[in-house]
Amino acid sequence: MWPEYTEQSDNFGGKNKMIRVTDDVIIKTIARVLTPFIQVYALYVIMHGHHSPGGGFQGGVILAASLILLLITHGWAETKKKFSETKTAVFCAVGVLIYTGIGVLCIFMGGNFLDYGKLGGLLMVIPPEARSLGILGVEIGVGITVMAVMFSIFFDTSTGGNSPEDETTSSLR
Amino acid sequence: MILQLDFIFILFVIICAIAALAVKDILSAVIILGAYSYFMCLLWTEMGAVDVAFTEASVSAGIGTVLMIAAVSKTTRRSKD
C-alpha cells in the first residue's frame, strides 16, 4: 500500500528534521485522508471570496498548508511528483500574470486598470455580473501565487536554501 | 458584542504574549504564539471582523507557526538569555 521507505526514496537521507518520511502509519494515513478535504475547503474559500469572508489570500494559504502537510509527512520525493520546484516558480509567475492580465484587459476594453465593468462586452454579461466575474478571476490569480510563494518560503526555510539534489551530490565536490 | 467576553479574550491574549516572552524554550514560545493568534482570532470574531479573523487564523496560526517551527528546526531550540 505504501511505497517502501529506503534511504534513496527520501532525497535528504533522513537528515532534515522537518522534511522527511515519517515511520508512523497513523500520521501518514491521517495526512493522506485529510489533504483532499483541506484542498476542497481552500477552493471553496477562493470561489466564495467575493460574497463571504475569505478570498484569494486565505484560500491560497490553506492550499499551501495542505501541500506542507504532504511535505512533512510523505517526504520530498513523494511531494515532488505533485509540486516540484519548477512548478513552484511557474505558478508564482502564472498567478501574477492572471492578475495583471485581467487588469490590462480592462485597459484594452476602454476602462481603467482593473475596471471589471468594461469586461461585460467580452464576457457577454451585464456590467454588475462582469464585476463579480472579474474579481473572481483576480482572486484565483492571487490564490495561485500565494500558494506557490508560501510553499516556497517553507521549503527554503526548512532546507536552508540548499536544494535536495545539491545535498546528495555534495560528496562529489 | 459582549463586553465581558472581550475582556476575557484580551486577558488571554496578554497572558499568552507574556508567556511567549518569558519561556526559555523557543519551540514552546512558538506554540504559545500559535495560541496567542488563536485568541486574537476569537477576539476579532467576537468584535464582528470575520474576514480579519479568518486571515488571522489561516496565516498567523496556520502558516506562521509552521514557518517558525521550520526556522527553529534549522537553528537552536534553547534560548541563550
B47 assigned to some structural domain: yes
At A110, the pLDDT band (50, 70, 90 cuts) reads: confident
Which residue of B63, B68, B72 to mutate against A (max A Cβ within 10 Å)?
Answer: B63
Measured between beta carbons, the chain B residues lying within 8 angstroms of A61 are 58-59, 62-63
Q: pLDDT by residue (tens digit) across A113-153?
A: 988 888 888 888 898 899 999 999 999 999 999 999 999 99
Under a CB-based contact definition with an 8 Å cutoff, are residues A78 and A58 in contact? Answer: no
Calpha distance A116→B24 (Å, rounded): 52
Alpha-helical (H) ranges within chain A are 25-47, 56-80, 85-108, 120-123, 127-159, 164-169
pLDDT band, residue A163 (cuts 50/70/90): low
Q: What is the average pLDDT across B24-52?
A: 93
Residue B80 lies in a domain: no
Residues A65 and B65 sit within 8 Å (Cβ to Cβ): no
Task: Write down the domain spans for chain A.
Answer: 25-162
Residue with cell 521549503: A155
Q: Is B79 on the interface with A (CB under 8 A)?
A: no
Residue A81 has pLDDT above 80, yes or no: yes
CA–CA gap between residue A121 and residue A128 (Å, rounded): 12
Q: Give the ipTM of the model, two decimals please.
A: 0.86
Q: What domain range includes position B16?
A: 3-74
Three-state DSSP state, B6: helix
Contact B4, B10 (CB under 8 A): no
* Residue A148, CA atoms < 13 Å, CB-side half-sphere: 18
Q: Considering the domain boundaries, does residue B81 fall inside one? A: no
Q: Does A65 touch chain B (CB under 8 A)?
A: yes
Residue from A51, A58, A70, A162 to probe the interface with B (highest B Cβ count within 10 Å): A58
In total, chain A counts a number of residues equal to: 173
